[in-house]
Amino acid sequence: MAEKILDVKNLVVTFDTYQGSVQAVRDVSFHVNKRETVGIVGESGCGKSVTIRTVMGLNPKSNGSVKGGQAFFEGRDVLRLSEKEIRDILGNRMSMIFQDPFTFLNPTMQVGKQITEVYLRHHKVSRKEAEEKALSILRLISLPNPEQNMKRYPHQLSGGMRQRVMIAMALICEPAVLFADEPTTALDVTIQAQIIDLMNSLKEKTDTSIVLITHDMGVVAKMVDRLYVMYAGKIVEQGDADAMFHRPRHPYTWGLLDSVPRLDERTKEELHSIPGMPPDLIAPPEGCPFAARCRYAMKICQRQMPDAIPLEEEGHAAACWLCHPEYVKQYGVTRREGKENGQ
């Protein structure tokens, strides 16, 4: 077994709003191995960002609260560290790239300063050395004219350059884990491709594990080793990229895959969207949260949601009654329509 760098167990997070308490994350477990790229995929509002921000201790303390679970990072449960201890990890051992490189960069600070700031926070070096380090990292991620661009303000840079600055900020301390929260969503398509290529090349050049959070199966396909699919605060399916893309077993995963446009496929297949809306997490349904939108829903789905059911391949599991041995025994294996046996 590979070494687990991050191991989150049974995480439960709720938010108090004035309409009620939102159960944003409901018993989520996942882990990240060393030098591995893991994807967490789901629609917006499914709890994927909340999960990551909870692990990083970034949720606003006033209304976000961890109700249970553990998150072991380099041997320590980060949910139980003091503020100071977690601050020593953030930006240093664990860092994050955010969705919108415009709003997530300080508009009144030169980008160079925003990058060196992280390094100076975690290393006892001079400003000069920090700038050297920033330059080297900017070269690594191939930002054009790094010397000049470091003196610029965010609004003077293009979207792709801004995202590179964000990446530089996140990587300058050579973290063990890099969380990327929808790193390409706010960018246009060509820039998206560049950023994906860049992140892929970083996997080769650094020892950093990457956790990619996105709603876009297309982005994930190009990057990850392993994949978690999240829905309504729960992980519904998980497994190796190969298994997940070719032999998915949860109807929600099928829905996500159907909604990705594929240029390389000749079949004149319609591009699907999943009908309906995710459930209200203030009062989540008792049974499977996806049942109301699921074409395969059964009576039992309304009553109870199964725990993750391990499947034939190592690490592949799905929380769906269709995968339950009892169901399989009676009706056989149900697979994604039109994609029998994967292809």
The two three-digit tokens of residue 250, written as one number: 């949860």
Listed residue (216, 187, 231, 227) closest to 45, CA to CA: 231
Site for other proteins in 123-182 (CB under 8 A): 153, 155-156, 166, 169
**Closer Cβ to other proteins, 268 or 329, answer by number:** 329
Rounded CA-CA distance 173/118 in Å is 8
Q: What is the dihedral of CA 92, 98, 100, 104, to 10 degrees?
A: -40
**Binding characters for other proteins, 310-339, by CB under 8 A (x = yes):** x------x---x--x-xx--xx--------
Q: Is there a contact between 237 and 253 (Cβ–Cβ < 8 Å)? A: yes
82 contact partners, CB below 8 Å, separation of at least 6:
none
CB of 280 to other proteins, least distance (A): 5
Q: Is 10 in the site for other proteins (CB under 8 A)?
A: no
Q: Is 48 in the site for other proteins (CB under 8 A)?
A: no
CB of 266 to other proteins, least distance (A): 28
**Closer Cβ to other proteins, 331 or 340, answer by number:** 331
Rounded CA-CA distance 249/60 in Å is 36
Phi, psi angles (nearest 5°) of residue 207: -95, 10
Of 3, 75, 108, 268, the one binding other proteins by CB under 8 A: 108
CB of 224 to other proteins, least distance (A): 21
Of 35, 121, 203, 215, the one binding other proteins by CB under 8 A: 121
Site for other proteins in 212-231 (CB under 8 A): none
- Of 7-15, 95-103, 141-149, 253-261, the window that binds other proteins (rule: CB under 8 A) is 95-103
Rounded CA-CA distance 319/74 in Å is 28
Rounded CA-CA distance 290/235 in Å is 12
CB of 85 to other proteins, least distance (A): 10
Q: Is there a contact between 94 and 86 (Cβ–Cβ < 8 Å)? A: no
Phi, psi angles (nearest 5°) of residue 75: 85, -10
The residues of the shown chain that bind other proteins, judged by CB under 8 A, are 18-19, 56, 58, 62-63, 84, 87-92, 95-96, 98, 100, 103-109, 117-118, 121-122, 153, 155-156, 166, 169, 275-277, 279-280, 282, 291-302, 306-310, 317, 321, 324, 326-327, 330-331
